[in-house]
Chain A
Amino acid sequence: MSQPATLTGKPAVTPPASAYFFEDRQDPEEAHTLTVLVDNEPGVLARVIGLFSGRGYNIESLTVSETEHEKHLSRITIVTRGSRAVLEQIKNQLARIVPVHRVTDLSEVARERNQEKPLERELALVKVAGRGENRLEALRLADAFKAEVVDATTEHFVFQMTGRSAKVEQFISIMQPMGLVEVCRTGVAALSRGAEAS
């Protein structure tokens, strides 16, 4: 710990150490879809989002809407990514929020029921502008993806398409060269498969 002096008489600057313990953890990460049932009152969504940003968790997708009006219950669906330990923390931290009724890990439920994935759908509105061959090609592709035309002029289409996120991604990237103008996506809505509640 003593300060070594250099030949020029200037003390050598020792590299600092820290009283915190740095650890490099590289546990494998997985994406999970969580559904959170909350009392619909002001600030709940801010608390959920704040939890994710404050504790450094990822949000890949988030949707929220009141689903049981008489009981003032809202359902928040979150797609998040993390190691198993972090995912467990996320669920416990969410469950700790006072107006949260229930946190369900739909990916875990699917695994328990020997299903590949929970039922997950997304809706996208995709605006494409162009004329001539591109325009026709866009329409043909939309048809192949079962996307619906919800708005059109001679110069543009707005397609509405629903499906799994991967399919939505694919549709958008295919529309890119056809004159894609802008995209709006709802984020993932999800339920467990089968007759029982999640």
Chain B
Amino acid sequence: MGKEMTGAEMVLQALRDHGVKHLFGYPGGAALPIYDELFQQEDIQHILVRHEQGAGHAAEGYARSSGKPGVVLVTSGPGATNMVTALTDAMLDSIPLVCITAQVPTHLIGSDAFQECDTVGITRPCTKYNWLVRDVNDLPRIMHDAFTVATTGRPGPVVVDIPKDVQFATGTYHGPDGEGRSSYKGYEPRIKGDEQAIAHAVELMANARRPVFYTGGGVINSGPEASQLLRELVASTGFPITSTLMGLGAYPASGKNWLGMLGMHGTYEANMAMHDCDVMICIGARFDDRITGRTDAFSPGSQKIHVDIDPSSVNKNVRVDVPIIGDVGNVMGEMLRLWREKAPKPELKPWWNQIETWKARRSLAYRPNADVIMPQYAIERLFQATKGLDTYITTEVGQHQMWAAQFYHFDEPNRWMTSGGLGTMGYGLPAALGVQVAHPESLVVDIAGDASVLMTMQEMSTAVQHNLPIKIFILNNCYMGMVRQWQQLLHGNRLSNSYNESLPDFVKLAEAYGCVGIRAERPGDLDDAIAEMISVKQPVLFDCRVANLENCFPMIPSGKAHNEMILPAEAESEAEAAFAGGKALV
């Protein structure tokens, strides 16, 4: 039976019906009826951010770390446009977000009213789907559809745009199971993989001599069972495994078959294994250009199996031999069953021996320094200090992000929140807020860069207001390090606008926000400073002064294939020479 209520009440009721406990948002004129309803209830906690983009990234962190959809509420016009970066970020990384935007009253739509923008038009390419609600009686169904679409199939962000008069209007509310059920007959994500294709894949795997698993964020999105199945599949087959940036933690970094991350800054052994394999099993990854290098030289001798829930990911960048459309957890379960039934014993010894020779190149080695904190060393120490704790890591985007991926080792899924597809500087700090909201007792660390962190720094104020003791671990090298690295390597060392002059004093800034500032300048100070950061029960800005000109290696340079990586030893001399040349210019 339906119940009469206002549109604003319906929004809150629908959130309750979908188990929402937390809402990230920022009020404004058009959203006031919903904010009024929020004020009069206690089931849903609203986290007030300082900029709508922060609400979006916080919701992403919340979603990624908890497996639940992140929910955002913002006002019309600038509230909605400020969400665009976060929506696009969630779109590219397949993060389930339900974003409610308020809109000017229906009779003003199209009149260029105050704080009006074409929200559904602007957000159409950066949402999985979006709706403008013109009639309050459509609102319940659309709210339920929004949650269904965001969380099923390949997850993603959705926008529900609700004009102010619709929020005030009264209509009949139906729950998600009754008359409010979705009307999209064409929307049926495929869960179960094709049996013949799976059998064919297992056959290829059984006869492989140089196999490799290449897994991605899809395994994490599929839920913890998928990560468990992946571990069993790797253990049963004995195959080596590498993962994309987004997939870290699905297979434990301490696992014996782990090759490290692959791609542009992946390990030598992971990229060489990808290049030389005879059977590649891609699970929940999408052959992104940061992964493949030049596609015409990508893993030339392999038969490729691709498991993905989204048919449009298949054969998009790289032609595969065995596509399997379905939920990766479901498909891996079936693969495992067939594998155990056949119980093949492929001869993998020579392949593993080969991999050991690649590992021996120690592609992540860096030159230690007794006087200056090396950024890699800082992350190694952070890892040592926090690995035994209940820790979640977020990052910004740039060198620090790649070093975090290389030197912080994840043994569990949902512990690593990073902006992979869009590469959004400023993601990590608000994402950490969202993670901390979902896991109030856990240690949440944003491994940040000095440039990125300033893009969303104002959210420290949110952290203080809501008692969210996030730790912002800034690898401060006074540069946009990755931009500088590319300029050094690719643009003749012309360091155009990549130096951050006049950075704030992060310790004083922390104090100004009412949180704690800590600085470490010498390698010898680092452990104590990290210990202090962990013990403080308040938000912390940690200013870790690192070597200014260190670069991130190994690296697949431009237009090169996986087997043409620059390793640290050769890179060091090249980069130093490049920089020496550059200094002469200044």
Instruction: List the interface of chain A (C-beta within 8 A of B).
Output: 1-3, 5, 11, 13-23, 37-39, 42-43, 46-47, 50, 54, 85, 88-89, 92-93, 95-102
Closest to B187 in A: A98
CA distance A102 to B185 in the complex (A): 10
Q: Which residues of B contact A47 (CB under 8 A)?
A: 124
Q: Is the CB of B490 within 8 A of A88?
A: no
B155 CB to nearest A CB, Å: 13
Given A3-B492, A3-B578 in contact, is the A17-B584 Cβ separation under 8 Å? no
A74 CB to nearest B CB, Å: 12
Other than the given A43-B120, A89-B316, 15 more pairs (CB < 8 A) read A1-B488, A3-B581, A13-B492, A13-B494, A17-B490, A19-B557, A20-B289, A37-B186, A46-B121, A46-B124, A88-B315, A97-B129, A98-B129, A98-B187, A101-B185
Chain A to chain B contacts (Cβ below 8 Å), 19 pairs: A1-B581, A2-B577, A11-B584, A13-B492, A13-B494, A16-B491, A16-B492, A19-B486, A20-B558, A21-B558, A21-B559, A23-B294, A43-B120, A43-B124, A43-B132, A54-B125, A89-B316, A97-B129, A98-B187
| Interface-located stretch among B40-48, B306-314, B411-419 | B306-314
Q: Which residues of A contact B314 (CB under 8 A)?
A: 92
B572 CB to nearest A CB, Å: 11
* B246 interface residue per 8 A CB criterion: no
* B385 interface residue per 8 A CB criterion: no
Closest to A54 in B: B125
Which chain B residues in 456-500 approach chain A with CB under 8 Å? 486, 488-494
CA distance A38 to B293 in the complex (A): 37
Q: Is the CB of B491 within 8 A of A43?
A: no
Of the candidates A11, A39, A95, which one forms a contact with B184 in the assembled complex, judged by CB atoms under 8 Å apart?
A: A39
Q: Which residues of A contact B559 (CB under 8 A)?
A: 17-18, 21-22
Instruction: List the interface of chain B (C-beta within 8 A of A).
Output: 120-121, 124-125, 128-132, 149, 183-187, 264, 289, 292-296, 310-312, 314-316, 319, 486, 488-494, 557-559, 574-575, 577-578, 580-582, 584-585
Q: Is the CB of B558 within 8 A of A14?
A: no
Q: Which residues of B contact A93 (CB under 8 A)?
A: 312
Q: Is the CB of A3 within 8 A of B582?
A: yes
Given A11-B584, A54-B125, A93-B312 in contact, is the A1-B489 Cβ separation under 8 Å? yes
Given A1-B575, A19-B558 in contact, is the A89-B312 Cβ separation under 8 Å? yes
Closest to A103 in B: B186
Q: Which residues of B contact A92 (CB under 8 A)?
A: 311-312, 314, 316
Q: Is the CB of B492 within 8 A of A14?
A: yes
Closest to B153 in A: A96
CA distance A38 to B149 in the complex (A): 16
Given A1-B575, A18-B490, A19-B486 in contact, is the A98-B312 Cβ separation under 8 Å? no
CA distance A43 to B179 in the complex (A): 23
CA distance A97 to B130 in the complex (A): 11
CA distance A102 to B310 in the complex (A): 15
Q: Which residues of B contact A37 (CB under 8 A)?
A: 186
Q: Is the CB of B578 within 8 A of A2?
A: yes
B114 CB to nearest A CB, Å: 24
Given A3-B492, A19-B486, A22-B559 in contact, is the A42-B312 Cβ separation under 8 Å? no
Q: Which residues of B contact A16 (CB under 8 A)?
A: 490-492
A100 CB to nearest B CB, Å: 5
Q: Is the CB of B124 within 8 A of A50?
A: yes
Q: Which residues of B contact A99 (CB under 8 A)?
A: 129, 184, 186-187
CA distance A50 to B296 in the complex (A): 29
Q: Is the CB of B296 within 8 A of A23?
A: yes
CA distance A18 to B120 in the complex (A): 35
